[in-house]
Amino acid sequence: MLVAALSALTLTLGMASCSDDTSGGKTITVGYQAFPSGDLVVKNQKWLEEALPDYTIKWTKFESGATINQAFIGNSIDIGAIGSSPVARGLSGNSPIGYKVAFVLDVAGDNEALVARNGTNINSVAELKGKAIGTALASTAHYSLLVALEQAGLSANDVKIVDLQPQAIIAAWERGDIDAAYTWLPTLDELRKTGKDLVTSRAIGQSNPTLDLGVVSDKLISDDPAAVDAWRKVQARALDLINTDPAAAAGFVGQELGISAEEAQGQLKQGIYLTPAAVASPQWLGTPGAVGNIANNLLDAAEFLVAQKQIDSAPTLAQLQEAIYVEGLPGAFDQ
């Protein structure tokens, strides 16, 4: 199944990552997801294209971290926006994916949540026993769902977890095929119109925080570190904009999501967006010779997934520290 999926993905993309294009220049393929983040600001304002005028920048949309992992395995993308749980999966096992964590896009807050559909009479996580829950398998939402169930005294076997991408969740919700869903914005706010939060990732994050990360292929880091620095700088610029002028950032994000600036600003308020200085702090990425706590966060996630029988084995802390790209930090974020 995985081979078939990878073959189909490669054919769909119809491109090789970080390759020479027909004009003799270089192409960088960026995998993005349609959730509120600085990544959408960078895309909308063409800041990466501006920073790398001699490159062709190709933006390819993905529905979840699992499909981004598949694209990296198939060498179809160079950079990706992906949740910390799929990253923990990707760096686990005997053949870890050849990428490194190079940026923190956001820390999950109320922008990911477990919601119950109105009319189901479900008012707590414990009441989900025997119910159908939609979520994208191998995503941060799936990870947080497993944590929420465990905290409520349930296991994955006590419920019916249905593997659905965000858009498919809406359709299943409207048909009444699922009783609840753990997902992220903007799909989450659609479900909230006819449902209610049982728990959000902000609460789950008190013990098991999840993040949206920017990862870069080992090949791009090795072949073109200057391009990686250019990407990190524009991502830092986007975080600065979200924190200093959220209305402007929301306008750009809204254009990418097809919603109003007011709606986008409301969605941005639900996430936790660090400053570039915080991204390079000991709590998160860290600096050369002092990799930050994000490696421990990924280890906790991997070990939890092993306990849940979602993956066979977790990497060591040392292996995860090697998978955090901190070269040049914090100066590499400076404009």
- Average pLDDT value for residue range 214-220: 98
* β-bridge partners, 20: 26
Whether residue 322 is found in the same domain as residue 245: yes
Element (H, E) at 227: helix 225-244
Asked if 52 and 85 sit in the same domain, the reply is yes
Identify the burial level of 153 via C-beta atoms within 10 angstroms of its C-beta, where 0-12 means exposed, 13-18 middle and 19 or more buried.
exposed
CA distance 211 to 284: 10
Which CATH number covers residue 264? 3.40.190.10
Give the pLDDT confidence of 96-133 residue by residue, as tens digits. Answer: 999 999 999 999 999 999 999 999 999 999 999 999 99
Q: Which of 156, 178, 205 is a domain's end point?
A: 205
Q: Are residues 99 and 201 in the same domain?
A: no
Residues in the chain, total? 335
Taking residues 262-269, report their average pLDDT: 97
Average pLDDT on 290-302 reads 97
Where does the pLDDT of residue 21 fall: very low under 50, low under 70, confident under 90, or very high at 90 and above? low
How much is the mean pLDDT over the chain? 93
Confidence grade of residue 18 (pLDDT, cut at 50, 70, 90): low
Task: In whole angstroms, give the CA distance from residue 35 to residue 155.
Answer: 28
Phi then psi for residue 136, to 5 deg, are -85, 115
Residue 325: both structure tokens together: 């790209």
Cα separation, 155 vs 188, whole angstroms: 23
pLDDT at site 335: 79
Same domain, 292 and 215: yes
Does 140 share its domain with 97?
no
Q: Is it the case that residue 7 has pLDDT exceeding 60?
A: no
Q: Tell me, yes or no, whether 11 lies in a domain.
A: no
Same domain, 264 and 143: no
Helices and strands per DSSP (H, E), number in the chain: 16, 12
Q: Which residues of 7-35 are buried (b: 16+ CB within 10 A; e: fewer)?
A: eebbeebeeebbeeeeeeebbbbbbbbbb
